[in-house]
A = this chain, B = another copy of it.
C-alpha cells in the first residue's frame, strides 16, 4: 500500500539523518533501502531525495565525499555531521510527539 504523499512531508529529513547515523551511504542506495524497508509504502524517487540531500548539506547536517565504487561508478557518499546528529535527536523527539498526538486523535474515544 502506497502512502498518500501529503503524509510524506517532513519525514525525509529525519529518516535520512537516521540512516546516515548508522553508516555512510550514497543517494541511490538510500532510495532503494527506504523503499525496500517500507515494502514500497514509501516510493521515493530521485526528485524526492536529491533536493533533500542538498538541503541537508547546505544546512551542514550532512557532508558528502565522492568515491569510485567497486563497479567503477562514481558515488557521492554522505556522512552525518555533529550538528546533524544533534538535529536527529530533536527530529526523532518531534516525530514521537507528533505520532503520539495523531494516535490520540485517531483513537475511538478522541
> Which A residues contact B (CB, under 8 angstroms)?
1, 3-4, 6-11, 14-15, 18-19, 22, 34, 37-38, 41-42, 92-95, 97-110
A62: min CB distance to chain B, Å: 16
Contact B110–A19 (Cβ < 8 Å): yes
Q: How many copies of the polypeptide does the oligomer hold?
A: 2
Contact B10–A102 (Cβ < 8 Å): no
Which residue, A18, A93, A98, has most C-beta atoms of chain B within 10 A?
A: A98
Contact A110–B37 (Cβ < 8 Å): yes
A8: min CB distance to chain B, Å: 8
Contact A110–B7 (Cβ < 8 Å): no
A73: min CB distance to chain B, Å: 25
